[in-house]
Amino acid sequence: MSANQVWKNCLKFIRENVPADVYDAWFKPIKPVSLEGQVLTIEVPSNLYYEWLETHFLDLLRAALVKNIGPQARLKYLVRMTNKPQSDHTHLAYPGRTTPQVDTRNYRSHTRKEIKSPFVVPGVEKIRIDSQLNPNYTFDNFIEGPNNRLAVSAGKSIAKFLGNTSFNPLFIYGGVGLGKTHLANAIGLEVKRLHPDKNVLYVSTEKFTQQYTSAVVNNTRDDFIHFYQMIDVLIVDDVQFLAGKTGVQKVFFQIFNHLHQNKKQLIFTSDKAPVDMRDVEIRLLSRFKWGLAAELKSPDFATRQKIIRSKLLHDGVEMPEEVIDYIARHVRSNIREIEGVLTSMIAQSAFNHKPLNLELAREVIGNFVQQRKPVYTCDMIQKIVAEYFNLRVEDLQSKSRRREIVQARQISMYLSKKFTDSSLDQIGSRIGKRNHATVIYALKTVKNLMDVDKRFRQVVQELENTLTGM
Ligand code: ADP
Ligand code: MG
């Protein structure tokens, strides 16, 4: 039988088992490529398809294959980039459009396993521990920006000079969805790559707590401690959940001390800085401050753009630049939200055959993101500044060197830099066709004046209040 014939039979089976719209969206676009022995290769339009199929329809696919090929049937995916019709004008550069072969077996082995035997007492030989790291959270797909640079470079140093940095513990903190878990995992994976003989363990504070509780119940508290004392790099996620749990804090403290004294690396994440943590023993808090506390902040506009491009590349989806910009401008608070918007857009476009355009972005973001802040523009800022000084916007745009106009223009530039994501060139060209050197000079002048002139500082402050109060 040919691949075509086999796939046709599979489709028949699938169609009987899923709703028509699901069938149309997810199975119709698949093309059979080849049948070698019992291995059927199919081509899917993007990585997202493949991941979606694997997560939602794996059993169905397996049943269809076994039915039509035999019990040893296997499925291989070929991912091909699509050219979406609306993206004719703007193409992302896909480095060497590869068509990766994805083997379902390999993929499945990536799913997390439980620690098989958490309380093994170490024997003569060093035992290997399943590190519980998520293989998808690597440095490769972690976009660096001013918001995370310190934490990233500290993490990379730790992996490179394991046991010889002063970043111990590394305490990564920041709000939800800003990459704490991803970064902590990436450090763990990098350690394993560079030092394969080291025991790395990732554990969430919740899981740690559960393990501890059952160790107490089962009278295996010592085994529990021994197990953790064997680790070379211990990553504990979300330590804010230690708050109020005295028993767990005690054992945590004991493990911490042992590992730290033996120059083992500790990495913690938390949604708060150590100073802001409540209901945690002082002696433990002071340990958290021994090494480096690095904050993850919200990404700026350029970093958000990069993150979006990277996710699209990963999903094998193309999107016009203006849509990427739109998302980057409107989804500001965290990266999980950006991912949510992209996934939702891609799914909508697949299900409802909508193009990935601005209209869809607006629709999805409207449902997704609470829009609190207005989006500031240079024009808006000039208008407010002109009004404040009883000038006209045209005055700011003019070539006039009158002192009050020059100052209003400079303040407009300063506020545009602070409130918009425009580049210096963009600010210059919007505010009176100036070049970017002029903008730099303006920013400096305003800052200097604010330092020395109280009245001037008040003026700028009032203008800022007007803007933030909008
Ligand atoms: P946190 O633990 O801080 O709540 P996560 O690490 O779970 O956040 O990150 C949320 C999502 O955003 C994850 O899917 C992660 O891969 C992604 N993410 C976070 N930061 C970045 C980054 N700098 N580059 C790429 N993806 C990121
Ligand atoms: Mg997390």
Mutate to test the pocket of ligand 1, among 241, 335, 337, 339 (most ligand atoms within 8 A of CB): 335
pLDDT tens column, 344-369:
999 888 888 889 999 999 989 987 76
| Cβ(155) – ligand 1 distance below 6 Å | no
Does position 188 have pLDDT exceeding 90, yes or no? yes
pTM of the predicted structure, to 2 decimals: 0.60
Phi, psi angle pair for 293, to nearest 5°: -105, 120
CA 454 – ligand 1 centroid, Å: 42
- What pLDDT score was predicted for residue 127? 62
| Cβ(182) – ligand 1 distance below 6 Å | yes
Does position 270 have pLDDT exceeding 60, yes or no? yes
3-state SS, 306-375, equals HHHHHHHHHHCCCCCHHHHHHHHHHCCCCHHHHHHHHHHHHHHHHHHCCCCCHHHHHHHHHHHCCCCCCC
Does position 45 have pLDDT exceeding 90, yes or no? no
| Cβ(181) – ligand 1 distance below 6 Å | yes
Q: Which pLDDT band holds residue 421 (cuts at 50, 70, 90)?
A: confident
Ligand closest to CA 146: 1
- What pLDDT score was predicted for residue 62? 87
Average pLDDT over residues 165-177: 94
Peptide bond into 32 cis (omega under 30): no
Question: What residue type is assigned to position 96 of the chain?
Answer: G
* Choice between 48 and 300, residue whose per-residue pLDDT is larger: 300
Average pLDDT over residues 229-233: 94
Average pLDDT over residues 98-102: 34
